[in-house]
């Protein structure tokens, strides 16, 4: 499910693994495992905060020294050296700190040094958390250097209990050429996944596909991330997979004419080809509407409760459940749509939404559709890569909604509530989303010299007239 580029690796059956893939399952932990999960999530927060506090303290001391030096008039280079923000330095520092080997290690009541509860948990939790802290700081400093696109990233937030989603990661510390049965993270039977220090953990849902891929050496697990949302734990198995079979990647039956995909205002998306024919439309189905209605009701119910009361707790957990339902339903829908589009079209044209830089829209319906569309683009991009489908990304200033797909005339203004596009120049009356999808399908990656595509279309129409 990720699109991060990965280096290729070999599996125990000699397959080349290069495709980043994630499988997700709901988990049914026993009472003991549930307690340990919560402790691990706490340990992750603790570790991240440990690193952030150290770095913040160091930054503060240095900036104070710099101020003093500035007043004295010397070259402002503080005497306190800066800390390394590299992941490996974080791992080493935290290990010696928690094992009682560094000067500032905690001292326990019985005189021993080090973090007294460190042996209760898998050591990997601390190391992965150190890597996460380093990554968050790297994002912050890249943003400060101006090397990161999107909204500016501030200093990473401290992880407050109850404010962040409980989560932690365990690595599968084995090379991919080792047999699946000797990997630390492995399936022990169709419904149980073994995790280091936890033993077999029960999973919900069908695991046949992932087990088969692992067995055949077509998927290797790098890590397992456990996350608790609305009271339920899920595990994400992230790793690398073999490329899809050639037959999957080059289907002769695919639609040869480019297909444009526009986000619908009411439906999830509308697709049409460059010839102006409707291709496919994905409705926001009834289940999603029902889920959204219950989300709204749960929101209102929460507002009526008294802060700190039992009723508020109940209302809050009910709200979280409705929220999870909406998210899951939408994700399922978006997967269906992206899969169908990639299966049926050879060239897909989508809009670059630039979600990070997009102005937040206050209207709920609109922001939900924006979020779904961002997710749809993401899925189309990675699935297209798997299946050998070409994707053209149109810059977001292309007036796909305002252009007439019949004559190329561009309106200066088009209200969001106008469901139908009617052109005053040629008299075309067409569904707004369909019109935009056709315009996207006709978009060309490189415009031939100074003559724009719109002018070409117009010239062609005039010559036939
Ligand atoms: Zn027109």
Dump the DSSP string for 55-102: HHHHHHHHHHHHHHHHHHTS----SSPPPP--HHHHHHHHHHHHTT-S
Q: Measured in angstroms, how far is the CA atom of residue 454 from the centroid of ligand 1? A: 11
Q: Measured in angstroms, how far is the CA atom of residue 403 from the centroid of ligand 1? A: 8
| pLDDT > 80? residue 458 | no
Q: Token digits for 45? A: 């927060």
| End-to-end Cα, the chain, rounded Å | 49
**pLDDT confidence tier of residue 448, bands split at 50, 70 and 90:** very low
| pLDDT > 70? residue 172 | yes
CA separation for the pair 401, 163 (Å, rounded): 40
Closest CA to 394 of 286, 250, 274: 274
Q: Measured in angstroms, how far is the CA atom of residue 461 from the centroid of ligand 1? A: 11
Which three-class secondary structure state does DSSP give residue 41? helix
Each residue of 94-152: pLDDT tens digit? 999 999 888 888 888 888 888 888 888 999 999 999 999 999 999 898 888 887 777 77
Share of the chain above pLDDT 70, in %: 86
Q: Measured in angstroms, how far is the CA atom of residue 337 from the centroid of ligand 1? A: 30
| pLDDT > 50? residue 417 | yes
Each residue of 60-78: pLDDT tens digit? 988 888 888 777 766 667 7
| pLDDT > 60? residue 433 | yes
**pLDDT confidence tier of residue 56, bands split at 50, 70 and 90:** very high
Residue 206 CB coordination number (10 Å): 11
CA separation for the pair 125, 146 (Å, rounded): 32
The DSSP H or E segment spanning 420 is strand 420-422
Q: Measured in angstroms, how far is the CA atom of residue 166 from the centroid of ligand 1? A: 54
- E strand segments, 190-297: 192-195, 199-203, 219-229, 232-242, 259-263, 269-273, 278-282
What average pLDDT score do residues 157-166 get? Answer: 88
Q: Measured in angstroms, how far is the CA atom of residue 329 from the centroid of ligand 1? A: 38
Q: Are 227 and 59 in contact (CB under 8 A)?
A: no
Bridge partner residues of 194 (DSSP): 186, 200
| pLDDT > 50? residue 177 | yes
Query: What are the residue numbers of the active site?
Result: 262, 351, 433
pLDDT attached to residue 235: 95
**pLDDT confidence tier of residue 49, bands split at 50, 70 and 90:** very high
Q: Measured in angstroms, how far is the CA atom of residue 402 from the centroid of ligand 1? A: 10
Each residue of 278-325: pLDDT tens digit? 888 887 666 667 777 888 888 888 888 888 888 888 888 888 888 887
Instruction: Give the number of C-alpha atoms closer than 13 A to the C-alpha of residue 65, restricted to the C-beta side.
Output: 14
**285 vs 213, 325, 350, 416, 419, CA distance in Å?**
32, 14, 22, 21, 19
Exposure of 357 by Cβ count < 10 A (0-12 exposed, 13-18 middle, 19+ buried)? exposed
Q: Measured in angstroms, how far is the CA atom of residue 429 from the centroid of ligand 1? A: 8
Tokens 């978006």 found at: 334
Q: Are 133 and 44 in contact (CB under 8 A)?
A: no
| pLDDT > 70? residue 336 | yes
Q: Measured in angstroms, how far is the CA atom of residue 282 from the centroid of ligand 1? A: 26
Q: Measured in angstroms, how far is the CA atom of residue 140 from the centroid of ligand 1? A: 48
Q: Measured in angstroms, how far is the CA atom of residue 257 from the centroid of ligand 1? A: 22
Q: Measured in angstroms, how far is the CA atom of residue 411 from the centroid of ligand 1? A: 10
| pLDDT > 70? residue 4 | no
Q: Measured in angstroms, how far is the CA atom of residue 272 from the centroid of ligand 1? A: 17
Residues 6+ apart with CB under 8 A from 121: 36, 39, 40, 43, 197
What average pLDDT score do residues 423-435 get? Answer: 86
**pLDDT confidence tier of residue 446, bands split at 50, 70 and 90:** low
Question: Ligand 1 is a single-atom ion; what residues have CB below 5 A from it?
Answer: 404, 406-407, 409, 423, 425-426, 428
Bridge partner residues of 16 (DSSP): 10
The residue ranking higher by pLDDT, 243 or 252, is: 243
Closest CA to 231 of 165, 142, 330: 165
Q: Measured in angstroms, how far is the CA atom of residue 154 from the centroid of ligand 1? A: 47
The DSSP H or E segment spanning 286 is helix 286-303
| pLDDT > 80? residue 90 | yes
| Beta strand pairing call for 259-263 and 192-195 | unpaired
Global pTM reads 0.68
């Amino acid at each position: 499910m990720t699109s991060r580029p990965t280096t290729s690796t070999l599996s125990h059956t000699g397959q080349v693994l290069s495709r980043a893939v994630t499988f997700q399952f709901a988990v049914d932990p026993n009472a003991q495992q549930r307690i340990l999960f919560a402790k691990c999530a706490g340990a992750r927060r603790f570790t991240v905060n440990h690193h952030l506090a150290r770095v913040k303290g160091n930054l503060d001391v240095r900036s104070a020294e710099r101020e003093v030096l500035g007043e004295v008039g010397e070259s402002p280079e503080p005497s306190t050296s800066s800390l390394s923000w590299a992941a490996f330095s974080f791992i080493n520092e935290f290990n010696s700190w928690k094992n009682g080997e560094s000067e500032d290690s905690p001292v326990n009541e019985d005189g021993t040094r080090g973090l007294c509860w460190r042996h209760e948990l898998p050591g990997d939790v601390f190391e992965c958390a150190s890597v996460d802290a380093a990554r968050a700081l790297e994002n912050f400093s890249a943003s400060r250097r101006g090397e990161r696109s999107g909204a500016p990233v501030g200093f990473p937030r401290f992880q407050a209990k109850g404010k962040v989603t409980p989560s932690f990661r365990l690595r599968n510390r084995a090379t991919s050429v080792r047999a699946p049965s000797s990997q630390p993270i492995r399936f022990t039977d169709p419904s149980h996944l073994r995790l280091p220090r936890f033993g077999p953990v029960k999973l919900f849902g069908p695991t046949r596909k992932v087990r088969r891929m692992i067995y055949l050496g077509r998927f290797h697990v790098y890590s397992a991330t456990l996350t608790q949302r609305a009271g339920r734990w899920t595990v994400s198995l992230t790793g690398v997979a073999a490329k899809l079979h050639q037959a999957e990647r080059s289907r002769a039956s695919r639609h040869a004419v480019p297909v444009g995909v526009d986000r619908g205002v009411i439906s999830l998306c509308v697709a049409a080809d460059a010839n102006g024919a409707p291709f496919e439309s994905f409705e926001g189905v009834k289940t999603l509407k029902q889920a959204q209605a219950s989300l709204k009701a749960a929101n209102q119910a929460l507002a009526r409760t008294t802060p700190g009361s039992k009723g508020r707790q109940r209302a809050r957990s009910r709200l979280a459940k409705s929220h999870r339902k909406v998210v899951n339903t939408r994700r399922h829908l978006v997967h269906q749509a992206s899969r169908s589009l990639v299966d049926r079209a050879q060239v897909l044209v989508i809009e670059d939404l630039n979600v990070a830089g997009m102005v937040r829209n206050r209207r709920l319906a609109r922001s939900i559709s924006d979020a779904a569309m961002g997710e749809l683009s993401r899925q189309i991009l990675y699935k297209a890569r798997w299946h050998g489908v070409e994707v053209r990304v149109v810059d977001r200033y292309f007036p796909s909604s305002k252009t007439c797909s019949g004559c190329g005339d561009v309106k200066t203004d088009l209200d969001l509530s106008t469901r139908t596009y009617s052109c005053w120049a040629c008299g075309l009356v067409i569904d707004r989303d369909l019109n935009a999808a056709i315009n996207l399908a006709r978009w060309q990656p490189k415009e031939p010299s100074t003559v724009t595509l719109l002018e070409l279309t117009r010239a062609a129409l005039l010559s036939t007239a």
